[in-house]
Homo-oligomer: A and B are copies of this chain.
Amino acid sequence: MFRVELEKERVGSLATVRRLPAYLHLLKQLNADGREFVSSTHIGRDLKLQPDQVRKDIASTGIVGKPKSGYHVPALIHAIETFLRWDNNTDAFLAGVGNLGSALLGYKGFEDYGLSIVSAFDSSPAKVGKVIHGRQILHMSKLRNLAERMHIHLGIIAVPAESAQEVADAMASAGIAAIWNFSPAGLNLPENVIVENIDLASSLAVLSRKLAIRLSGPAEADL
């Protein structure tokens, strides 16, 4: 019973959740400027969204606004951050420190999202033991045990497609509940493991397709 309610809530607001970070970014700027209240029209203008959409999204965080003035900026910031659990820090493990993995390890912006990569792993002997962006790289074989002992809930996969499934399995069996997958491979995991893919190929496909249509003209679209 509860499960059904939960699912409904989650699915219904997924698109909303995707927009929340953009709101948060804008609100933090406004807050830094000393702005105390902001209206949905203002937000909509800046982010190129309909005011209606903005109100609906904000409503799902539980915040209510004041007519004539708008929403209280600090309160809204706090509400979004707690909604996403970006107020408390979340510790994560990173698997794979090639080009992309190293970049993720060095990315400062994750702090804003309450995310800390506490340990990084690789299977290549050439990389194990090295220090990258302040963290010493451990061998992949240690991931399982450490994740279990440290009660890590979030795993980030930045290994080549070939080994992605293997790593994902190790993470899942270590009790990691959510996986952020930067590899091009589609992962096969039990239902109770949450997976979110950063799919460069899909994104580029959309871009390529739009560009192809633009360059070759509308005639193409009739196919």
Contact = CB atoms under 8 A, between A and B. Distances in A.
Interface of A: 2-3, 5-6, 9-10, 14, 17-22, 25, 47-48, 62, 83-86, 90, 99-100, 102-104, 106-107, 109, 113-115, 153-154, 177-178, 180, 184, 186, 188, 194, 196-215, 218, 221-223
Per DSSP, chain A at the interface is helix
B86 A208 contact: yes
B22 A211 contact: no
Contacts of A204: 21, 113, 115, 180, 196
A186 B210 CA distance: 19
A211 B102 contact: no
A22 B199 CA distance: 10
- How many copies of the chain does the oligomer comprise? 2
A31 to B, nearest CB: 16
A62 to B, nearest CB: 5
A212 B48 CA distance: 29
A24 to B, nearest CB: 8
A173 B222 CA distance: 30
A13 B17 CA distance: 24
Contacts of A218: 2-3, 5-6
Nearest to A112: B201
